[in-house]
Chain A
Amino acid sequence: AQSVSQHNHHVILSEAASLELGCNYSYGGTVNLFWYVQYPGQHLQLLLKYFSGDPLVKGIKGFEAEFIKSKFSFNLRKPSVQWSDTAEYFCAVNARSGANAGKSTFGDGTTLTVKP
């Protein structure tokens, strides 16, 4: 079975600080990786995804993530955060094939608070 671990439960930053949220997964096969964002009171929205090609993927609102296969990691980064980035961030993984294909497993989430 696949699993996802997000190491930081709550991150507090000041505006303009750099952000890196950790995500590690465990699964023996090939996976697709996602980051979702949930703004306060809203539903989850896809921030970015990786399934093949360049391991550095760029998403909306200046976010990017790097897939490091050898470390089973897919960390989310942003060079300079804004107050509007305050939200909860979820890393997710799903297997490319097999019984778990298409069923995304989510991490516990990281709450980001950006102070103005």
Chain B
Amino acid sequence: NAGVTQTPKFQVLKTGQSMTLQCAQDMNHEYMSWYRQDPGMGLRLIHYSVGAGITDQGEVPNGYNVSRSTTEDFPLRLLSAAPSQTSVYFCASSPRWEGVANYGYTFGSGTRLTVV
């Protein structure tokens, strides 16, 4: 089915480990972004991309890296996991950044990450 696919759904990491959260969309969307969801804090933007080869920081980028080598994929890398990064991570996409007005975001099903 067309949409945004995130893997894994659940992950437990030890402090200091690194990992990559995968996000892929098959809708040819130009705009992709990563949010983290924490209780009582809503969703906060980590990084976003307006097209292949272009990325930029959001509200809470520290400790995370992204790259956008293809239109379809937008992986999020945790360089050295910390307990403060325990959260639910959502990938979201939209046809174009200005297309958010018309279409809103399509969200993936989320990755629940626990750092111990």
Q: Given known contacts A49-B104, A102-B100, A106-B35, what 11 new A-B pairs fall within 8 Å (CB)?
A: A32-B101, A36-B107, A43-B110, A44-B105, A46-B105, A51-B101, A51-B102, A94-B100, A103-B33, A103-B45, A106-B43
Q: Which residues of A contact B (CB under 8 A)?
A: 4, 9, 32, 34, 36, 42-46, 49, 51, 90, 94, 96, 101-109
Q: Which residues of B contact A9 (CB under 8 A)?
A: 40
In the bound complex, residues from chain A placing their C-beta under 8 Å from that of B106 are: 46
Minimum distance in angstroms from B101 CB to a CB of chain A = 4
Which of B43, B94, B99 lies at the interface centre, i.e. has the most chain A CB atoms within 10 A of its CB? B43
Chain A, Cβ-Cβ closest to B56: A103
Closest Cβ of chain A to B66, distance in Å, is: 14
What residues on A are CB-neighbors of B109 within 8 Å?
42-43
Interface SS, A side: strand
Q: Smallest Cβ distance from A55 to chain B, in angstroms?
A: 15
Q: List 26 A-B contacts (CB under 8 A).
A: A43-B109, A44-B92, A44-B105, A44-B107, A49-B101, A49-B102, A51-B101, A51-B102, A101-B98, A102-B31, A102-B50, A102-B96, A102-B97, A102-B99, A102-B100, A103-B33, A103-B45, A103-B48, A103-B58, A104-B45, A104-B100, A104-B105, A105-B45, A106-B42, A106-B43, A108-B42
Number of interface residues of B (CB under 8 A): 30
Interface status of B90 (Cβ within 8 A of chain A)? yes
> Closest approach, in angstroms, between the C-beta of B1 and any C-beta of chain A?
13
**Which residue in chain A gives the minimum CB-CB distance to B108?**
A43
A108 CA / B39 CA spacing, docked (Å) = 8
Cβ of A96 and Cβ of B90 under 8 Å apart?
no
Q: B98 contacts which of A44, A90, A102, A108 (Cβ < 8 Å)?
A: A102
Across the A-B interface, the 4 shortest Cβ-Cβ residue pairs = A102-B97, A46-B104, A106-B43, A108-B42
Q: Is B41 an interface residue (CB 8 A)?
A: yes
A45 nearest in chain B by CB position: B107
Could you tell me the distance in whole angstroms from the C-beta of B102 to the nearest C-beta in chain A? 7
